[in-house]
Structure 1
Amino acid sequence: MENYFLPGDLEAQIEAFVDHYNHQRYHESLNNVTPADVYLGRDKAILQQRERIKRKTLETRRLHHRQRAA
């Protein structure tokens, strides 16, 4: 537990928490994007990019598996 002896210290910590919560922390209820991503309309593009990466990874793994099995 931290003690904040000056109001500015507490305000800075609250600001840092809010920034982390909204811009860095992925939220499971938002399909693992940040609230800022949803608010700014970036969520759909992020989720589409993740899906492309996932499909490419699966294709690469299948190809690698086939090559090792042959």
Structure 2
Amino acid sequence: MPGALEETSAAFVGHYNHRRYQERLGSLTPTGVYFGRAESILGQRKEIKAKTIGTRRLLHGQTAA
């Protein structure tokens, strides 16, 4: 299997750059930062978090009442 190392290395690099969030990059992928999508991604996360908190508060209010 002469191409096994190259195949495994390519899979690792792809995962590392496109899927693995980096704490030092603000929990973003290197690709997201490189292509200037950091603000957009963080904005989307903020919206999702706000909606989730709102839903949890609503559900908590219904079960507490």
Q: Same fold (TM over 0.5)?
A: yes
Tell me which of 8, 16, 19 is aligned to 2:11: 16
Mark the runs of 5 or more structure 1 residues left unpaired by the alignment.
none
**Pairwise CA distance, 1:52:** 0.6
Q: Percent of aligned pairs with the same residue?
A: 55
Match of 1:59 in 2: 54
Q: 1:1-70 to 2 correspondence within 5 Å?
A: 6=2, 8-70=3-65
Please report the TM-score for the alignment, with normalisation by the length of structure 2: 0.84
Of the two, which has the highest radius of gyration? 1
In structure 1, what is the Cα distance between the partners aligned to 2:8 and 2:53? 42
**How many aligned positions are there?**
65
Mark the runs of 5 or more structure 2 residues left unpaired by the alignment.
none
Runs of 4 or more consecutive aligned structure 1 residues displaced over 6 Å after TM superposition: none
Partner-residue secondary structure (3-state), 1:33:
coil
Please report the TM-score for the alignment, with normalisation by the length of structure 1: 0.79
